[in-house]
Structure 1
Amino acid sequence: MEGLHHDTNLDQEDATSGDKEGSSDAENTESSEAVAGNRPEVGGVGEIDYSKEAANRELSPEEKIEFLDQMVRIRRFEERSLRAYQQGHIGGFLHLYIGQEAVAVGAVSCMTEEDHVITAYRDHGHAIAVGMEMDECMAELYGKKTGCSKGKGGSMHFFAPDKNFWGGHGIVGGQTPLGLGIAYAVKYKGAKGACLCFMGDGATNQGPFYESLNLAALWGLPVIYVIENNGYSMGTAEARHSAGEPLARRGDPFDVNWSVSHGHDLYEVRHNISEALRLAHEESKPSVLEIVTYRYRGHSVADPDQTYRSKEEIEEYKSNKDPINLFKDRLLAEGVIDAEAALEMDRKAKDEAEASAEFAQASPYPDPEELMEDVYWETDDPGGRTSEGTIFFESP
């Protein structure tokens, strides 16, 4: 699919490079030599103005400003998370979404209240896009009781059932059959929704993904597999881990609709997601959408990513394809927002992120007695053989 004209890069707050995560992902890289030229290209640039397509042409100025605000908030949250990690407030792994903001915001903005989201371990951006508060997200990173998963999930396990957000999953590709199950439940219950199942490029090589595609096609389930192809499966470039491209064509054997698009063009993301949701809602058909994007940081913050990609490659994407700046410049050109309003939006996002860190720091840790809570599904009558737990999608 075609993309957007290149523009200026965001004045990004540069977090220091003193990453100190304990267990390094670099052990999984194949070479200490930077690999150049392995980013997949997607069609021509600027050949289609997706702002004029059906999914976008009737957007109000307020909606467009909201999309920009969400992307800015995601980035500032991630940058503050990185600083908190480097200060020793966050443990475990930390997978940042910086650079991929237009994918989550563009996709989630197309959803209805009956649609659902499930994703992998790089889940902070999706969480904020569905409406989760920075406070509950940052508190979860700090392992605090006020976190969205009560401090037990950490970075990879954000959840918000009240917003149809079902995680946050740490096993590569492990969420793909769960997304299938959500879509099955939607159809079984006679609802009108669909499930957006986000995954990385590396997850396309996992067996459960193909098993899920087969059943999705066989049973006609409203699931949309969104491949966020940032070019690297941990430290392994796509050209080294996957034969054949584009990755979205893996839907072909199952006769599943697929498309490929630029992840730095929010309008293009919305265009393709909207069409996939239409097929899911109206015809109960699955889709595979590959969205070519880029992460500015390593796989996790411990990852010395310049061992497998060059500094020039990273800077080229930041300078020419930054999703926030591209969309901001579009709104400036459209007269939707002015420069001062854009700066104020950024200031507010920084303040909100800083306040969330203060909230997390002040929050209590879970009580030791809570360790075994929320581990097993609790039934209404644990002692009864015929008792049933809460049925999916039904209120108590």
Structure 2
Amino acid sequence: MREIREFEERLQVENTSGEIPGFLHLYTGQEAIAVGVCEHLSDIDYIGSTHRGHGHCIAKGCDLNGMMAEIYGKETGLCRGKGGSMHIADLERGMLGANAIVGGASPLAVGAALSARTLGTGGVSVAFTGDGGSNQGLVFEAMNMAVVLQLPVIFVFENNGYGEATGHDYAVGSRDIAGRAAGFGLPAVKVDGTDFFAVHEAMGTAVERARSGQGPSVIEAVAMRWRGHFEGDAMLYRAEGEVAELRANKDPLTLFLQRVEGQVLQEDIEAIDRQVAAAIDEAVERARAANPPSAEQVLTDVYVSY
């Protein structure tokens, strides 16, 4: 969680330099969801992400240097600098990619789950989707197919309060993502997404079901995002003082430390903070020093014809 927080807060600063191409959608405030979910996964398991995917990548074990270089558009990036923030992928780590298509991870995760079952790998797949994406028809189709085929897939809906600038309570007719999902015939729970332990427990149950052949599950994790839809978003749709209240009372890292007080030494926490800060510094320095893809590389690793 500290890696995700430091990575995102550093990107918030670096973005003002003008060196980073494209949009950034930061994950700050939602760290406990990605980590609570991915702590149950290994490299044989797959995740599909969203446009707000940095936290998912880090939690799944993607290399920080490769991620930062990708965001900077450099050839040393995980996708050789051609994907950028919204399309980071690392198949060796089971990261099917961030996805700018709203709700796009769900059908991909269903396909990955079908592959895992067919090949007998014992793997599961996870689809991360936002509250906005939860309204998409392809997400409904994916859940239905997962139930019909009883696939080892978990649909994680990150309810961060807003689909771009539209509030969840307005856009989700039932105002209950988990309750609506249960109508497809799969178990669905709603948890506090700022509570690592709540997410971790719910995911443990879902993964056990999936690995034992009992089919798909849904987790709705509620954690309001701290930043705008994208960097530069003025957030005029938010109530005055809303973000300050979140920082003061719903910080996933602070809540985690409160839970483990007396069980973890303060000097160990401080050591982690120093190590993470140094790793992020190194990632930024390497990304800045790296070269962009050459002209000869532009048409490699992409579809030029069908």
Give the TM-score of the pair, scaled to structure 2: 0.96
Alignment of 1:48-127 (within 5 A): 71-127=1-57
1:164-197 Cα shifts (integer Å, max 9, x gaps): 1111111101121111111111111122111011
Alignment counterpart, residue 271 of structure 2, candidates 326, 338, 344: 344
**Aligned AA for 1:325?**
T
Partner of 1:211: 141
For 1:272 and 1:127, the matched residues in 2 are separated by: 20
Alignment counterpart, residue 178 of structure 2, candidates 238, 248, 255: 248
> Is residue 315 of structure 1 aligned with residue 244 of structure 2?
yes
Partner of 1:335: 263
Alignment counterpart, residue 232 of structure 2, candidates 280, 302, 313: 302
Structure 1 unmatched ranges of 5 or more? 1-70, 383-396
For 1:318 and 1:330, the matched residues in 2 are separated by: 17
For 1:132 and 1:216, the matched residues in 2 are separated by: 27
The structure with more radius of gyration: 1
Alignment of 1:150-299 (within 5 A): 150-299=80-229
How far is the alpha carbon of 1:311 from its aligned partner?
3.5
How far is the alpha carbon of 1:294 from its aligned partner?
1.6
Compare 165-174 and 109-118 and name the one that shifted more.
Answer: 109-118
Partner of 1:365: 292
1:202-228 Cα shifts (integer Å, max 9, x gaps): 001111001111111111111111001
How far is the alpha carbon of 1:113 from its aligned partner?
4.1
Alignment counterpart, residue 139 of structure 1, candidates 69, 86, 100: 69
* Alignment coverage as a number of residue pairs: 306
Aligned-residue Cα RMSD (Å) equals 1.6
1:314-342 Cα shifts (integer Å, max 9, x gaps): 111111110001112222x233222x332
Partner of 1:32: none
For 2:265 and 2:129, the matched residues in 1 are separated by: 33
Partner of 2:255: 326
For 1:236 and 1:154, the matched residues in 2 are separated by: 25
Identity %: 39
Q: Is contact 2:174–2:180 with CA below 8 Å preserved after alignment?
A: no
Q: Which has the higher contact order (CA 8 A, sep 6+)?
A: 1
For 1:171 and 1:104, the matched residues in 2 are separated by: 19
1:118-138 Cα shifts (integer Å, max 9, x gaps): 111111111111112211111
Moved over 3 A (4+): none
Give the TM-score of the pair, scaled to structure 1: 0.75
For 1:84 and 1:284, the matched residues in 2 are separated by: 45
How far is the alpha carbon of 1:79 from its aligned partner?
1.1
**Change in 2 beyond 3 A, CA 1:112/1:361:** closer
For 2:183 and 2:33, the matched residues in 1 are separated by: 26
